[in-house]
Amino acid sequence: MEMNSTTIIPGYYNASHSVVNSSLLYECDQEINSYGLSDFIIYGVLINLIGLFGILGNTISMIILSRPQMKSSINYLLIGLARCDTVLIIVAILIYGLPAIYTYTGLLFHYKFIVYPKIIKFLYPFSCMAQIVTVYLTLTVTVERYIAVCHPLQARSFCTYGRAQVAVLVIVVFAFLYNLPKFWEIEVYVEIHWKYNVTIYCIFPTEMRSNDFYVTLYIHWLYFFVYYMFPIIALVIFNTAIYRRVRKANRDLQQLSRHQRREIGLATMLLCVVVVFLICNILPLVSNIYETFIEDPPRWMVQVGNLLVTINSSINFIIYVIFGRKFKRTFLRLFCSSRLHGPNRDSPEFQTYDESIVTNTTNIELRNSVRHLGNLNRSNTINRNNNLVHGGNVHVSNGSTRRSVKLSRPVSSGPCVYYPAKSPARSPSQISRTSSSHNGWNNRKENDDTTL
């Protein structure tokens, strides 16, 4: 959340209003309804509605990604990202959404002038912590995908669940220590409300927050480098390399193994996450540059920038549903009617091996072919009369299903068959193809359910 200007926090003391014009009315040294309508539309309506959707979507994402069959290093990072996005949305609603309702409608007076000034001292630092954790978790996810896609031989040792836990812990500790001074940037003072003649609380910058050296070095320059410049440059470099690898892989799609295709698909999905992140943070970056090198940015730039940051924290769930096949299937099974996706969707009967080979035969047909082939080997179950033998073909009947197998060549069950209890015999050429496929990408023995 873009929290780098005194004009961003509703009700924050503005030094230019220290001498109050008697013809204007002020609350906490801020002109009444000066930005009432725009604040109400952007903050009071859009941020609140988008934020509620984002909280719901992130909660569903955390539930799905926390399933035992989804356990993996990348999913652990995505769970951490969803948690931080949820915290960021909640803080955005409390800092922007609810106070903006009073600004235009006059509702929530008690929250605006009693509750909000007492909690903003803690919400402001936590919003900055959540923002920096979100930024660097996005970068960590990108680095993990870069290693998995561009350096698959090193992925087994680097992209582990334990390393993902350590990365999240390091990022959280760094975010806490970096934003620790922000706890001492705000203080509260008391005044009498002009209309209701009751005591209200207002927020005021501390002496440290008003220090020019502190504002220039910490608020402007460090914020610019730590929050924007370094992570954005790194994201562009790593995702450019991932994009080139994905393009090359798509040209050689038929030569990729099933595991390689899963990695490429996951990389493509996370590329979309990063692209949305960069788009939503362009305007806050421009706003920060404007403030650092010119003057305070226009109010509309700050408002729209905060809205875009909230949108970025709320939209990942949609990307997962669109691009994550396993994620979407699990979502339908857990939260939607069984009529939408059929019973036992995750059972072997509904799984396919379409990524490993191009075939015109379904898995169930292949499985039945193996069973019929076994029946052919039993002399007491095969009827070789004239009614079944025609032109070198043997027709095997199994209830209402009929299969035709040519006698001139042995029947192969194909590499897609993995459901029968006993594996069919494989030819030497099949064994050699199987053994040769265990290279860089395939040496990672992961369960299919761990991917999105």
Cross-strand bridge partners of residue 401:
398
Which tokens hold the place of 117? 């000034």
3-state secondary structure of 157: helix
Is 142:238 a contact under the CB 8 Å cutoff?
yes
Give me the phi and psi of 401, to 5 degrees please. Answer: -100, 135
Confidence of residue 256 (pLDDT cuts 50, 70, 90): low
Name the percent of the chain lying above pLDDT 70: 66
Cα(first)–Cα(last) distance of the chain, in Å? 28
Domain ranges of the chain: 26-330
Closest-CA residue to 268 (of 388, 404, 148): 148
**148-199: per-residue pLDDT in tens?**
888 888 878 888 888 999 999 999 999 999 999 999 999 888 888 888 888 8
pLDDT at 5 over 90: no
* Domain 26-330 in CATH 1.20.1070.10: yes
User: What string of DSSP letters covers 183-229?
Assistant: GGSEEEEEEE-TTT--EEEEEEE-TTTT-HHHIIIIIIIIHIIIIII
3-state secondary structure of 395: strand
**280-308: per-residue pLDDT in tens?**
999 998 988 888 888 888 888 999 999 99
Is 97:185 a contact under the CB 8 Å cutoff?
no
DSSP 12: B
3-state secondary structure of 427: coil
The pTM for the full model equals 0.70
pLDDT at 237 over 50: yes
The H or E element that residue 55 is part of is helix 48-65
Which tokens hold the place of 165? 């836990």
**33-92: per-residue pLDDT in tens?**
666 788 899 999 999 999 999 999 999 999 999 988 888 888 999 999 999 999 999 999
CA distance 189 to 212: 22
Cβ neighbours for 287, distance < 8 A, ≥ 6 positions apart: 2, 4, 5, 297, 301, 302, 305
Cβ neighbours for 126, distance < 8 A, ≥ 6 positions apart: 87, 91
Is 375:363 a contact under the CB 8 Å cutoff?
no
